[in-house]
Structure 1
Amino acid sequence: MHSRSPNIFIFPALLFVPFLFFALPFFAAGQSADEVRTKIDSRNAEIKKLEAEIAKYQEELKKTRKEITSISGAVNDLTVTSKKLDTDITLTQKKIETAELRIGKLNQEIGRKSTELERSQNGLSSIMRSLDERENVTAIELLLAHEDLSQFWSQVDSLLMLGDSLDGHIDELRSISRELAKNKNLREEEKGSLQDFRTDLSDQKKVADYNKSLKTELLNETKSKESEYQKMLAERRARKEAFEADLAKLESQLVTILDPSKLPTQGSKALSWPLDTIIITQEFGDTAFSRSKAAPYNGKGHNGIDLGAPVGTLIHAAESGIVLGVGDTDTTCRGASYGKWILIQHPNGLTTLYAHLSVIRAKKGSVVARGETIGFVGNTGYSTGPHLHFTVFASQGVQIRDLASKGCSGRIYTLPVASYNSYLNPLLYL
């Protein structure tokens, strides 16, 4: 017993030596935590600069949009849109780089905390073993094992120090475990964001290609002549009017007896806005604009609302639900109808339509969450400018059906149709 007593004094001090290592700066292979933090700050500054540049393009597009009634105005609008879309892509690339740096930084921290946790666990085990060795020694045996009382009391003090050290290690172990779990959760969130950014980047490149193809097609079709441009617009207007007549004939024959109990309460915000920034360019129903002969509607009312936004703006699902279908009416008759569209049925008795998209992300049959990105704003179908056409149906009365086209003879549309009373005012549910 005499030979063991000096170790009691030394052990508690040695126990904390490994932790002094962690007070020093931690360096990962290739770069330090400070270097990573500096790179993250640099990327964030670049992101702010790009966001400001995109905001300027959006303001410029508000002006060019008013000039698309002429060939020069339309070409200029597509050119500015292309610049804005290229900047969107650069912005997303910077967000990807930032997310990768943050994940790397979290990996560093997780590695450090994991090592720290292992050291703390080993230290705790050592203390537990030391206490266990002394647990079977009675106070009388401990007293008789020493030549005088001073050695006895030193031994007692050492045991008390071990007890205090045990409490400290348990607290430290809990703290490290909490920090480790927190960093792992943050890493998973960053990985999710990184995947979202990569998906956005892929789709943004598709949107940019779509916009470039529009410009090429416009110049080829009109040969840059104003007379040819006006002729093209007139032809599309005629095809649009033919389509609306075909659709009205079919829908007027549909009858649905709606059960109000299967619809959400009006004003309950059963749906969320499908765009982040809301600019309503046309409301629902028989508005003054839809009655105008110069307008792209037939005077019988607007079956949804139009939300103005630049090409490439993200579109979100207004509520969770199942994607009943996606399509593109331009493959049947170009410039006559919805263009690229998505139809989603929600569990609250409503079904929503998103039209004139540039790129569709959602897949038929897939389940989407409220707020999930499902596509991007475009100018497909019959549209006088980039926007989202948003329609709300009572699910009881909407279906996807085939419709023969008179504007493009011999062709068949596949698109959503509904009885008139199944069209609901979106503003009552947003």
Structure 2
Amino acid sequence: MKGEIKKILILISFLFILNGANAPFSFSSTIDELKSQINEKNNQIQNIEEEIKRLQEEINKNSALANTLKNQINQLNLQKQKLQKEIFLTQKEIETTSLNIQELSTEINIKEKEIQEKIDLLKETIKKIKETESISILEVVLSKENLSEIFGNINQTEMLQDEVNANLDDLKELKLSLEEDKKEKETQKKNLENYQAKLVDQNKLVEINQKSKNQLLTQTKNKQTNYQKLLSEKIRLKNALEAEIDRLEEQIKIQIDPNSIPKAGSGVLAWPFTDEKMKSCRSYEKELGNVYCITQYFGRTPFATQNPQIYKSGEHKGLDFRAAAGTEVLAADSGIVAGTGDTDITCPNASYGKWIMINHNNGLSTVYGHLSLIKVVPGQYVKRGELIGYSGNTGYSTGPHLHFEVRATRGTQITKRESMVCTGRIYTIPIGSISSYLNPLSYL
């Protein structure tokens, strides 16, 4: 009888140890410290985002002022401040993500240790149960003084079996939780890589901003009269190059079969910005009259017809979006990068500036103009929503924005030819038949 009681006590003690293995206290202080640091970083991120928002509001107000040299320099300075704040924000996001990875690594270590401890203890417990069960019923009956003790022994054995089953369920839950933590860690690692790449891009954007400011000061010698002459020359070049391209496009006689492109209203294209950017557009509804940051629509718009010095044809061939310099520009759909270029190399301040064209597999092509930085190369496959560049103020642009076109692929081609306007220089630019230009809003 004493031997029987001893076996039961051994089994109960094992289960007590097993249940106690759920709470490893040695890691708790580390996790608490990491959580505290993460909360602090998140608060810092929130404050920086508020500062960026304030700077963007200043940029918007300044853009509405007269186009003077003083205001243009001030605009570049504000844009530089905003870009620097965005660099600081990215650095904090890198720090926060690194802390998240540390926290997940610690939790993974804890769970792996718990799982191993539970497995080892379960093995030992099952071994003890088998030893107990090896005692025959006759031996149990003979060793007990009454029926109550006999049934009590049987009930205890059943209870131990239930405890083993319960701990097996705990093991399954721990394993699932561990797998989720590992997936989240991989996601955080990918986020970290993206933030680090973004930081490199943002530093380049600051350099581009400074270069633009230095170039403007050099060209104008910091005099308003020289700035006005520069603006007039930009308009002259822009109109001359546009007329040259129009003559080329008039020679392209390609009729577009309506069945070769998606139906209007099909929504086959995504907005070329992040969800966060599109949400921010709602705050400009009163000012712009829409919640999409559209500053100029497609076609014979009031602005195009009222400003023949800018749009001699009286038509606007795409959509213009309000987008601060350095705003991420995303592919509107998956496809192959048909080409990239920079018209400023041939005719400065006269056309698209830095541009990208993507051919999609549905008969449509999209063009993105006035970029500050291009992140793709011709022939590259890009996924829908993938980063392809950053918005800017290159080419002929009255302020930082994204010019976005949708075209029928069949009627569009990328041309390399010597410019008649900027003689002796070869420009690379997407041109197409008049019928190939489509209203982007029909597909967004």
State the TM-score bracket (shorter-chain normalisation).
over 0.9
Q: Aligned AA for 1:339?
A: G
Name the CA distance, whole Å, in 1 between partners of 2:431 and 2:135: 88
* Structure-to-structure mapping, 1:298-313, within 5 angstroms: 298-313=312-327
Corresponding residue number in structure 2 for 1:37: 35
Q: Is the partner of 1:256 in helix, strand or coil?
A: coil
| Aligned 8 A contact 1:255 1:419 in 2 | yes
* Structure-to-structure mapping, 1:119-130, within 5 angstroms: 119-130=117-128
Corresponding residue number in structure 2 for 1:60: 58
Corresponding residue number in structure 2 for 1:162: 160
Name the CA distance, whole Å, in 2 between partners of 1:255 and 1:307: 30
Unaligned runs of 5+ in 2: 282-291
Q: Aligned AA for 1:359?
A: L
Name the CA distance, whole Å, in 2 between partners of 1:296 and 1:9: 93
Q: Aligned AA for 1:266?
A: A
Q: After TM superposition, give the deviation of residue 112 of structure 1 in Å.
A: 0.4
Corresponding residue number in structure 1 for 2:198: 200
Unaligned runs of 5+ in 1: none
| Aligned 8 A contact 1:362 1:375 in 2 | yes
Q: TM-score, normalised by structure 1?
A: 0.93
Q: After TM superposition, give the deviation of residue 419 of structure 1 in Å.
A: 1.0
Q: Aligned AA for 1:120?
A: K
Name the CA distance, whole Å, in 2 between partners of 1:195 and 1:7: 56
Q: Classify 1:2/1:259 alpha carbon distance in 2 versus 1 (closer, same or farther; 3 Å).
A: farther
Instruction: State whether structure 2 residue 295 is matched by structure 1 residue 281.
Output: yes
Instruction: State whether structure 2 residue 359 is matched by structure 1 residue 345.
Output: yes
Instruction: State whether structure 2 residue 438 is matched by structure 1 residue 424.
Output: yes
Q: Classify 1:51/1:102 alpha carbon distance in 2 versus 1 (closer, same or farther; 3 Å).
A: same
Q: Aligned AA for 2:355?
A: W
Bigger Cα displacement from structure 2, 12-21 vs 316-325: 12-21
Q: Aligned AA for 2:299?
A: G
Instruction: State whether structure 2 residue 114 is matched by structure 1 residue 116.
Output: yes
Name the CA distance, whole Å, in 1 between partners of 2:347 and 2:247: 18
Q: After TM superposition, give the deviation of residue 199 of structure 1 in Å.
A: 1.5
Q: Classify 1:393/1:196 alpha carbon distance in 2 versus 1 (closer, same or farther; 3 Å).
A: same
CA deviation string 1:14-72 (max 9, x = no partner) = 233254354354437xx621111111111111111111111111111112113362111
Corresponding residue number in structure 2 for 1:269: 267
Corresponding residue number in structure 2 for 1:316: 330
Q: After TM superposition, give the deviation of residue 240 of structure 1 in Å.
A: 1.1
Which residue of the other structure, out of 103, 106, 124, is the alignment partner of 2:104? Answer: 106
* Structure-to-structure mapping, 1:128-277, within 5 angstroms: 128-133=126-131, 138-140=136-138, 142-144=140-142, 146=143, 148-149=145-146, 152-153=150-151, 155-275=153-273, 276=277, 277=281
Q: Aligned AA for 2:373?
A: V
Q: After TM superposition, give the deviation of residue 5 of structure 1 in Å.
A: 5.5
| Aligned 8 A contact 2:239 2:309 in 1 | no
Corresponding residue number in structure 2 for 1:360: 374
Name the CA distance, whole Å, in 2 between partners of 1:137 and 1:366: 73
Name the CA distance, whole Å, in 1 between partners of 2:115 and 2:219: 69
| Aligned 8 A contact 2:370 2:391 in 1 | yes
Q: Is the partner of 2:27 in helix, strand or coil?
A: coil
Q: Is the partner of 2:300 in helix, strand or coil?
A: coil
Across the two proteins, how many residue pairs are aligned to each other?
A: 427
Q: After TM superposition, give the deviation of residue 177 of structure 1 in Å.
A: 1.1
| Aligned 8 A contact 1:68 1:77 in 2 | no
Q: After TM superposition, give the deviation of residue 231 of structure 1 in Å.
A: 1.3
Name the CA distance, whole Å, in 2 between partners of 1:212 and 1:121: 62
Q: After TM superposition, give the deviation of residue 375 of structure 1 in Å.
A: 1.1
| Aligned 8 A contact 1:400 1:416 in 2 | yes
Name the CA distance, whole Å, in 2 between partners of 1:159 and 1:352: 72
Q: Aligned AA for 2:347?
A: C
Q: After TM superposition, give the deviation of residue 143 of structure 1 in Å.
A: 3.5
CA deviation string 1:112-137 (max 9, x = no partner) = 01101111112222233334445565
| Aligned 8 A contact 1:319 1:370 in 2 | yes
| Aligned 8 A contact 1:286 1:301 in 2 | yes
| Aligned 8 A contact 2:11 2:129 in 1 | no
Q: Classify 1:50/1:147 alpha carbon distance in 2 versus 1 (closer, same or farther; 3 Å).
A: closer
Instruction: State whether structure 2 residue 370 is matched by structure 1 residue 372.
Output: no
| Aligned 8 A contact 1:317 1:370 in 2 | yes
Q: Classify 1:315/1:402 alpha carbon distance in 2 versus 1 (closer, same or farther; 3 Å).
A: same
Q: Classify 1:77/1:8 alpha carbon distance in 2 versus 1 (closer, same or farther; 3 Å).
A: same
Q: TM-score, normalised by structure 2?
A: 0.90
Bigger Cα displacement from structure 2, 17-26 vs 325-334: 17-26
Q: Classify 1:361/1:26 alpha carbon distance in 2 versus 1 (closer, same or farther; 3 Å).
A: farther
* Structure-to-structure mapping, 1:13-92, within 5 angstroms: 13-23=13-23, 25-27=25-27, 32-67=30-65, 69-92=67-90
CA deviation string 1:92-125 (max 9, x = no partner) = 1111111111111111111101101111112222
Q: Classify 1:12/1:209 alpha carbon distance in 2 versus 1 (closer, same or farther; 3 Å).
A: same
Bigger Cα displacement from structure 2, 58-67 vs 133-142: 133-142
Name the CA distance, whole Å, in 2 between partners of 1:333 and 1:77: 24
Name the CA distance, whole Å, in 2 between partners of 1:147 and 1:418: 99
Q: Classify 1:16/1:268 alpha carbon distance in 2 versus 1 (closer, same or farther; 3 Å).
A: farther
Bigger Cα displacement from structure 2, 244-253 vs 135-144: 135-144
